[in-house]
């Protein structure tokens, strides 16, 4: 399986400005989130990237991407109608090829030298199947994510055969339908924001019709073709959450070349607070 | 050969595995049984299989309780080690067993130790089963996460957006309403729905369970789902819970209160909120704020209101109203928090199963309990519910054969055609007979019999299983008559074979009368639930039309009135119209500005709102008030609200005064002594009397008696003495005195009936009362000796009228002269002091309950102490029916009353030779005027001869002792410490042979002085003053609403007959008699053993029943 195309979805409600935000990346460079994502995608071997944006946003996104080493395409989505609709709009771009789907409001920070997108693409290439990146997530957070249930593929660490997909399940449903042998009690495999998808997913989206979600289509993929989930070595940060960007920056800073500088800044802030708030206040005479 | 029982328990061949225990050990003697017990003890410790372990425990229990005591050479006397008893009370069963086994090794097997071991094994068996159910409930998929949530921020649920959408900031939030039918079991498959049975024998656990809507005949226009619940968001960070039927509502603002199930009548709503995960059980004891959880769930500053109503369906309907209400509330909460796919409409199958699992969890949390079919109302129509084999992935796998949760299969139109549905609705009259009873002991009996594979119950169970198929076939063929025949046969055969106590005289009489009056139109009986007398059904010819329901109502009411004194009725009977509900539980969302909750809700909640300055109410609440106000003018269903609001805010004067007046009249009639009452109150308040003061001083020496202190008649009585006895009987020297002033408060758990008239057991094919049985024993002896023997029933203000009237019906009996001796004293109960309540609950030993129930009990105790304080300690208890406020003053007075009320004079006039009285309690059913025993008493010629039995572990409450050197009976209340009782070998049976002249002499009276009322009164008072006064605390039930009951502790005082044995001038003797003669029946749970150990058959042999019984 050759994966040389990627789709970044960035037209969601409240997502339009997120990819344009700037962060200091692991190499100490100040770049936009979109650029960081595109660099990851390029490192994964993708040469073409389609960004799904709201009409009129193309210019700002092109500027934010800068001189990126992939060929950029833009696809318009008039209204935020979810990832399913966004991917269908990129159908012409995708054609009959498998592709990498990246959600545009997340930042992915890999543990180790290999980027998250590349880890996923390598698994998909090796297995020749659709693969979703997943992360073991505590049950109190699963109501925000698509979540899969399944079983480990023998001899393939961290790779799962997906048997069930539910969108934003309650822990009640998760316990009944999404239990994964080998995971700690109360943890489930939630989507990470990266998928390698096959044209069959788009076909299912078309068949399901208007309003179909990506999770619906993935649920229908099961049984029709092989569908896997891979626990990538890394973490994802939802930049749309309160403090999401801050946490992502902290993560990047502490994982990158400017680690010492970051620590110094944090310590200096803490020390200054300690000095000014912890010092005894002299009573007025 | 040892190990035969182990071999049977582990056999793969059902023919061996299911052999009854009695058959397996029939050839073993005491030694052989001992060897088997040792082997079983080792086996039950080693085996990992739950049911092998539990069956081994029940085998051990049965050997110690039933087999060993029946073997020749088994030592009849022994002592129960007190530390073992303490372990038992604290539910440390293994430790208790170890102590008892060590004692057995040291002293050899004996009756006392076997009684202790039997009890310990029995309790451990049930504890093991209950623990397994709890583990299964907690580990059911979908329930586990709730136990892991330990912090408000861990709460993963969020309220659905639809419930937070409102027109503007002042508008009320939308209301989610759930409506749920109840369930009716059409098959009664011999209690196969008990969890323990379904988990061991899933193939036999099958029921047909119908979801039904109800209308109370004469009240409701048409059948509707009886259960309705509502949920909405409110603008206050509290949980606002309201039970319309129980008239309870509360704003809860702490997690601690959410988990306090006994504080008020909102326990079921709380259990649902917890069981649905709204407040996950893992948060219990987390020391966090409820408002934080609510903020996570539905937003800062907001809370939830949950309201329930069951349209006044009375308790005891056997339609699982409370479990279905719990399930309905859980479904409602699950919908609201996104745990169901759809917010409204019916549930999906998987969701129903989750609700059912959580209802079991909720029942465990709330300390109640139901069978696995009980939440059937959330499913539609008629369904087969069947036990399921545990398989891979089930938490029960390799622990039990069956799963906790059964499978449900709704019957389609072929299996349950529309014609059958209509015919069922037309031909089955569903009723509530008015009795509300505790079915807990029945369920224990069924479980134990099943595990022991006892015959004939085992065969009966197989028959019930085949009847299930007949009922199914009848429905498929729309042949409701066939269904009726099958359910009747099920009741007459398997059900009453397995548990004879499932029926009663009331049910039997109603069936008999309906059969007589309807002739061919009567088609059969449908037993519902654990016991008849409450919810039940009668099949009739549908052609008789709706009028037949009026006739059923009339018959029920007539029979209820007939048995009103003898059986515990909570209310008048009710007849229902019912319809099969085709949908199951379903929900609708109503916009806040259109939503109306139950009328009863507003009647309950609005009075407090109307008293508040409107400006201080949240805007949404003000708007609701306005809306309900305008709806009252336009909507007929709210027509009654305004008068109810006025009644609530301005109660009509005088209602309490009417009750007080009735009580004063009754007290005056009963000879209430106000002066004595005030003295007792003063003493109680001053601490001169009280529970702690009942006890003998610690310096008193209380020791066991020596062999020469008693006459042991266990080996038998010299038959030669019988002639002496017969001669005395023939000469008219003997009368029987049955103490029958009691209101069976323990028997009916405080409900109160005339115990003497309670038809407790079937003899000679029909239910007989205690009075019937005692008269019948006297009659047999009288016939034997050719005399007419006087038989006096001493009565109290509570029992005199009904007993006197019952005896009148025997007035022409040529063999027995039945007389009622009316009580001459009554007391007025008092609100207990906190000191006494704390002494009772904290200082004396009690059986600790399992964890949840114990916490419930402690919470109830705190609430009751609060009640005592707020009502006023030692004030008169008047907030109940008059008979519940008064109390008998102890059986010391019952014989002296015969001196005062003229009964003794009348006896002596009729039988001047009268010299001996056999005085016994109404519940000592095995006692009789055995001529040989009488001869023994006559030969010894003592003033008072007391009958005692060798003590068993259940014989708590005093005994025979040497107190400071004198051999006498000591009441349990007087024991200086609890351990002292366990050093005593004998227990009082309450039976005394009295030399009448010696007794009169003790009172300073002679026969001729009995006519002198003043002298007699003085004499009685003189002796009474020498008797100790005991303060006791009794439970009294207060009934309210529709079959609801609350239990309150009340203080009363009493003087006891046995203390006469302490008077130095009384010559006494103590005869050790067999237990079958001395056993007192105080609790319905004893009936099973009464039949099993042959006591019932022996009593029947002692009786010659009159042609007509009191129950006729």
Average pLDDT, integer, range B379-388: 96
CB contact under 8 A, A171 and B153: no
Point out the residue among B142, B154, B338 whose CB comes nearest to the CB of A175: B142
DSSP string, B439-485: -HHHHHHHHHHHHHT-TTHHHHHHHHHHHHHHHHHHHHTT-HHHHHH
Residue B1111 has pLDDT above 60, yes or no: no
Sorted by sequence, the CB contacts under 8 Å of residue B792 that are 6+ apart come out as: B735, B736, B737, B738, B819, B820, B821, B898, B903, B907
- Work out the average pLDDT over B685-704: 87
- CA-angle at B11, arms to B10 and B13, nearest 5°: 155
**Nearest by CB: A172 against B155, B158, B354:** B354
- Provide the mean pLDDT of chain A: 91
Q: Does B156 touch chain A (CB under 8 A)?
A: yes
Q: What per-residue confidence (pLDDT) applies to B398? A: 79
What does the alpha-carbon distance between residue B202 and residue B402 come to, in Å, rounded to a whole number?
5
Structure confidence at residue B352 (pLDDT): 96
B957 backbone φψ class: left, alpha, beta (φ>0; ψ -120 to 50):
left
Confidence of residue B644 (pLDDT cuts 50, 70, 90): confident
Q: Cβ of B145 and A179 within 8 Å?
A: no
> Does A139 contact B145 at a Cβ distance shorter than 8 Å?
yes
Q: What are phi and psi of A166, to 5 degrees?
A: -130, 140
The pLDDT assigned to B658 comes to 54
pLDDT tens digits, residue range A5-32? 999 999 988 778 899 999 998 888 999 9
Give the chain A residue whose CA is nearest to the CA of B152: A140
Rounded Cα–Cα distance for residues A56 and B348 (Å): 45
CB contact under 8 A, A143 and B154: no
Pairing of strands B428-432, B944-950: unpaired
Pairing state of beta strands B789-794 and B816-821? parallel
CB contact under 8 A, A185 and B148: yes
Dump pLDDT digits (tens) for B420-441: 999 999 999 999 999 877 777 8
B1041 touches chain A (CB under 8 A): no
Min Cα–Cα distance to chain B from A144, Å: 10
- Quote the minimal CA–CA distance from B309 to chain A in Å: 27
From the CA of B153, how many Å to the nearest CA of chain A? 8
Distance CA B534, CA B434 (A): 5
Do A172 and B148 count as a contact with CB atoms less than 8 A apart?
A: no
Report pTM.
0.86
**pLDDT for B281-312, tens place per residue?**
999 888 889 999 999 999 999 999 999 999 87
Are B141 and A179 an interchain contact pair (Cβ–Cβ within 8 Å)? yes
* Residue B630 touches chain A, beta carbons under 8 Å: no
- Give the per-residue pLDDT at B1110: 44
Do the chains contact at B148 and A175, CB–CB below 8 Å? no
pLDDT at B737 over 60: yes
Average pLDDT over residues B1062-1079: 95
B145, B283, B297: best mutation site toward chain A, by most A Cβ within 10 Å? B145
Q: Give the CA dihedral B626, B629, B630, B632, nearest 10 degrees.
A: 160
Q: Do A143 and B157 touch (CB under 8 A)?
A: yes
Q: For B402-418, how does the pLDDT look when each residue is reduced to its tens digit (9 = 90+)?
A: 888 899 999 999 999 99
pLDDT the model gives residue B597: 86
Q: Tally C-beta pairs within 8 A across A and B.
A: 47
Q: How far apart, in whole angstroms, are the C-alpha atoms of residue B997 and residue B915? A: 7
Contact call for B144 and A140, based on CB within 8 A: no
Would you call B334 and A139 a contact, using CB atoms and an 8 Å cutoff? no
A chain contacts of residue B155, beta-carbon cutoff 8 Å: 140
Q: Which residues of A touch B339 (CB under 8 A)?
A: 170, 172-173
Q: How far is A218 from chain B (nearest CA, A)?
A: 19
Phi first, then psi: what are they for B892, rounded to 5°?
-55, -40
Report the distance separating Cα A213 and Cα A81, nearest Å: 9
Peptide bond into B508 cis (omega under 30): no
Cβ–Cβ gap B156/A185 under 8 Å: no
- Find chain B residues with C-beta within 8 A of A170's C-beta: 156-157, 337-339
Mean of all residue pLDDT scores within chain B = 90
Average pLDDT score over residue span B36-52? 93
- Find the helix or strand (DSSP H, E) in which B837 lies: helix B834-838
> A175, B337: Cβ pair inside 8 Å?
no
Q: Which of A143, A167, A170 to mutate to test the interface with B (most CBs of B within 10 A)?
A: A170
C-alpha–C-alpha distance, residues B321 and B691, integer Å: 40
Of the residues B137, B138, B142, the best mutation for testing chain A's interface (the one with the most A CB atoms within 10 Å of its CB) is B142
Contacts of B798 (CB under 8 A, 6+ apart): B741, B743, B752, B754, B883, B886, B888
**Sign of the torsion angle spanned by Cα atoms B684, B688, B691, B692:** positive
Q: Cβ of B157 under 8 Å from any chain A Cβ?
A: yes
Measured between CA atoms, the residue of chain A closest to residue B277 is A172
Can you give the pLDDT at residue B487? Answer: 97
- For residue B148, the chain A residues in CB contact (below 8 A) are 139, 185-186
B138 interfaces chain A, CB cutoff of 8 Å:
no
Judge: B156–A186 Cβ closer than 8 Å, yes or no: no
- The Cα B1004–Cα B1020 span in angstroms is 9
In the stretch 347-406 of chain B, residues with CB closer than 8 A to chain A read: 350, 354
Q: What are phi and psi of A201, to 5 degrees?
A: -65, -45
Question: Which residues of chain B have a CB within 8 Å of the CB of A185?
Answer: 144, 148
Residue in chain B closest to A166 (alpha carbons) equals: B341
B-chain residue closest to A170, CA distance: B339
User: Looking at chain B from residue 221 to 280, which residues have their Cβ under 8 Å from any Cβ of chain A?
Assistant: 277
Span B890-931, pLDDT tens digits:
889 899 999 999 999 999 999 999 999 999 999 999 999 999
CB-CB under 8 Å, B158 with A176? no
Q: How far is A159 from chain B (nearest CA, A)?
A: 22
**Of the listed ranges A54-63, B96-105, B660-669, B916-925, the one predicted with least confidence:** B660-669
CA distance A273 to chain B (A): 28
* Nearest-neighbour CA in chain B from A251: distance (Å): 23
B338 touching A (Cβ < 8 Å): yes
Looking at per-residue pLDDT, the higher value among B1017 and A197 belongs to: A197
How many angstroms separate the CA of residue A106 from the nearest CA in chain B?
22
């Amino acid at each position: 399986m050759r994966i040389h195309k990627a789709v970044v979805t960035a037209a969601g409600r409240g997502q339009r400005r997120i990819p344009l935000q700037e962060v200091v990346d692991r190499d100490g460079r100040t770049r936009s989130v979109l650029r960081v994502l595109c660099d990851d995608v390029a490192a994964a071997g993708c040469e073409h990237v389609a960004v799904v944006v709201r009409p009129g946003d193309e210019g700002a996104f092109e500027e934010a991407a800068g001189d990126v080493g992939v060929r950029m395409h833009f696809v318009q989505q008039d209204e935020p109608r979810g990832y399913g609709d966004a991917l269908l709009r990129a159908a012409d771009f995708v054609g009959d090829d498998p592709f990498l789907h990246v959600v545009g409001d997340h930042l992915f920070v890999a543990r180790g030298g290999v980027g998250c997108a590349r880890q996923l693409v390598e698994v998909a290439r090796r297995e020749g199947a659709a693969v979703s990146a997943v992360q073991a997530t505590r049950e109190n957070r699963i109501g925000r994510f698509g979540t899969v249930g399944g079983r480990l593929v023998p001899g393939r660490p961290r790779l799962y055969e997906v048997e069930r997909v539910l969108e934003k399940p309650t822990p009640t449903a998760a316990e009944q339908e999404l239990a994964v042998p080998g995971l700690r009690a109360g943890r489930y495999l939630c989507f990470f924001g990266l998928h390698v998808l096959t044209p069959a997913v788009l076909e299912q989206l078309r068949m399901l019709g208007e309003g179909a979600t990506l999770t619906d289509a993935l649920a229908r993929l099961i049984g029709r073709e092989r569908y896997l989930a891979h626990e990538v070595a890394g973490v994802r940060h939802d930049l749309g959450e309160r403090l999401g960007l801050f946490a992502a920056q902290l993560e990047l800073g502490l994982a990158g070349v400017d680690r010492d500088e970051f620590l110094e800044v944090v310590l200096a802030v803490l020390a200054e607070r300690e000095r000014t708030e912890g010092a005894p206040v002299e009573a007025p005479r | 050969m040892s190990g035969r029982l182990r071999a049977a328990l582990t056999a793969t061949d059902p023919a061996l595995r299911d052999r009854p225990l009695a058959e397996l050990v029939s050839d073993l003697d005491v030694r052989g049984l001992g060897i088997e017990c040792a082997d079983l003890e080792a086996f039950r410790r080693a085996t990992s299989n739950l049911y092998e372990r539990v069956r081994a425990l029940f085998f051990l229990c049965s050997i110690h309780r039933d087999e060993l005591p029946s073997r020749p050479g088994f030592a009849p006397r022994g002592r129960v080690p007190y530390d073992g008893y303490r372990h038992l009370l604290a539910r440390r069963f293994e430790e208790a067993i170890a102590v008892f086994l060590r004692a057995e090794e040291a002293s050899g097997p004996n009756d006392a130790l076997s009684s202790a071991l039997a009890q310990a094994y029995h309790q451990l068996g049930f504890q093991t089963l209950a623990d397994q159910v709890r583990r299964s409930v907690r580990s059911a998929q979908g329930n586990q996460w709730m136990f892991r949530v330990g912090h408000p921020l861990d709460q993963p649920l969020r309220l659905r957006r639809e419930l937070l959408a409102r027109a503007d900031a002042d508008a009320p939030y939308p209301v989610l309403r759930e409506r749920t039918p109840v369930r009716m079991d059409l098959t009664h498959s011999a209690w196969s729905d008990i969890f323990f049975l379904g988990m061991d024998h899933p193939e036999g656990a099958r029921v047909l369970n119908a979801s039904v809507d109800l209308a109370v005949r004469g009240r409701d226009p048409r059948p509707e789902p009886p259960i309705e619940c509502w949920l909405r968001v409110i603008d206050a960070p509290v949980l606002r819970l309201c039970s319309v039927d129980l008239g309870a509502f509360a704003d809860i603002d702490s997690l601690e209160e959410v988990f306090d199930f006994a504080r008020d009548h909102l326990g079921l709503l709380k259990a649902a909120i917890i069981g649905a995960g709204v407040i996950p059980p893992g948060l219990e004891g987390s020391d966090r704020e409820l408002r934080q959880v609510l903020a996570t769930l539905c937003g800062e500053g907001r809370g939830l209101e949950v309201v329930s109503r069951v349209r006044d369906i009375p308790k005891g309907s056997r339609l699982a109203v409370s479990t279905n209400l719990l399930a309905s509330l859980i479904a409602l909460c699950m919908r609201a928090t996104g745990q169901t796919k759809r917010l409204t409409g019916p549930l999906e199958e998987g969701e129903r199963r989750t609700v059912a699992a959580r209802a079991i969890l909720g029942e465990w949390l709330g300390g109640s309990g139901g069978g696995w079919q009980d939440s059937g109302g959330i499913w539609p129509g008629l369904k087969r519910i069947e036990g399921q084999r545990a398989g891979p992935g089930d938490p029960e796998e390799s622990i039990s054969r069956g799963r906790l949760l059964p499978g449900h299969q709704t019957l389609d139109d072929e299996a349950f055609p529309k014609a059958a549905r209509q015919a069922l609705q037309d031909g089955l009259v569903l009723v509530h007979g008015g009795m509300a009873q505790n079915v807990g002991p029945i369920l224990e009996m069924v479980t134990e019999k099943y595990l022991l594979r006892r015959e004939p119950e085992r065969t009966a169970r197989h028959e019930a299983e085949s009847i299930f198929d007949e009922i199914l076939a009848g429905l498929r063929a729309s042949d409701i008559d066939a269904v009726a025949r099958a359910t009747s046969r099920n009741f007459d055969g398997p059900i009453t074979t397995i548990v004879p106590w499932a029926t009663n005289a009331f049910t039997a009489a109603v069936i008999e009368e309906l059969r007589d009056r309807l002739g061919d139109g009567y088609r059969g009986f449908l037993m519902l639930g654990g016991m008849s007398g409450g919810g039940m059904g009668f099949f009739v010819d549908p052609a008789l039309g709706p009028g037949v329901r009026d006739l059923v109502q009339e018959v029920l009411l007539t029979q209820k009135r007939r048995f009103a004194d003898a059986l515990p009725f909570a209310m008048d009977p009710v007849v229902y119209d019912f319809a099969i509900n085709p949908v199951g539980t379903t929900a609708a969302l109503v916009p806040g500005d259109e939503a109306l909750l139950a009328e009863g809700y507003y009647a309950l909640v609005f009075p407090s709102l109307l008293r508040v300055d409107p400006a201080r109410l949240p805007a949404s609440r003000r708007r609701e008030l306005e809306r309900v106000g305008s709806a009252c003018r336009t909507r007929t269903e709210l027509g009654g609200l305004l008068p109810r609001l006025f009644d609530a805010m301005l109660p009509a004067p005088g209602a309490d005064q009417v009750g007080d007046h009735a009580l004063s009249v009754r007290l005056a009639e009963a000879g209430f002594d106000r002066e004595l009452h005030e003295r007792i109150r003063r003493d109680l308040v001053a601490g001169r009397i009280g529970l702690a003061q009942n006890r003998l001083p610690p310096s008193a020496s209380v020791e066991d008696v020596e062999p020469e202190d008693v006459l042991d008649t266990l080996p038998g009585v010299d038959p030669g003495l019988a002639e002496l006895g017969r001669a005395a009987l023939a000469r008219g020297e003997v009368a029987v005195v049955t103490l029958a002033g009691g209101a069976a408060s323990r028997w009916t758990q405080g409900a109160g009936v005339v115990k003497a008239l309670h038809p407790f057991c079937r003899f000679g094919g029909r239910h007989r009362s205690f009075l019937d049985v005692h008269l019948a024993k006297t009659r047999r002896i009288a016939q034997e000796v050719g005399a007419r023997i006087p038989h006096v029933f001493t009565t109290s203000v509570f029992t005199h009228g009904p007993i006197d009237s019952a005896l009148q019906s025997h007035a022409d009996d040529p063999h027995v002269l039945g007389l009622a001796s009316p009580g001459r004293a009554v007391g007025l109960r008092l609100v207990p002091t906190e000191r006494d309540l704390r002494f009772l609950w904290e200082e004396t030993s009690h059986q600790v309950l399992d964890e949840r129930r114990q916490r419930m009990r402690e919470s109830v105790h705190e609430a009751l102490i609060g009640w005592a304080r707020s009502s006023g300690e030692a004030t008169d208890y008047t907030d109940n029916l008059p008979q519940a406020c008064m109390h008998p003053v102890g059986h010391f007075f019952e014989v002296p009353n015969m001196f005062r009320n003229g009964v003794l004079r009348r006896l002596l006039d009729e039988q001047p030779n009268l010299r001996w009285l056999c005085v016994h309690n109404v519940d000592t059913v095995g006692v009789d005027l055995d001529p040989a025993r009488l001869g023994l008493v006559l030969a010894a010629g003592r003033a008072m001869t007391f009958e005692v039995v060798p003590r068993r572990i259940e014989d708590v409450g005093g005994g025979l002792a040497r107190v400071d050197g004198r051999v006498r009976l000591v009441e349990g209340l007087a024991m200086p410490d609890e351990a002292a009782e366990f050093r005593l070998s004998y227990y009082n049976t309450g039976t005394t042979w009295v030399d009448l002249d010696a007794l009169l002499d003790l009172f300073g009276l002679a026969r001729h002085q009995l006519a002198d009322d003043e002298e007699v009164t003085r004499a009685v008072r003189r002796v009474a003053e020498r008797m100790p006064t005991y303060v006791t605390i009794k439970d009294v039930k207060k009934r309210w609403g529709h079959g609801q009951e609350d239990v309150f502790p009340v203080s009363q005082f009493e003087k006891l007959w046995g203390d006469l044995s302490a008077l130095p001038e009384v010559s006494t003797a103590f005869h050790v008699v067999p237990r079958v003669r001395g056993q007192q029946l105080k609790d319905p749970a004893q009936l099973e053993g009464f039949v099993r150990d042959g006591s019932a058959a022996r009593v029947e042999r002692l009786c010659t029943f009159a042609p007509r019984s009191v129950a006729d």
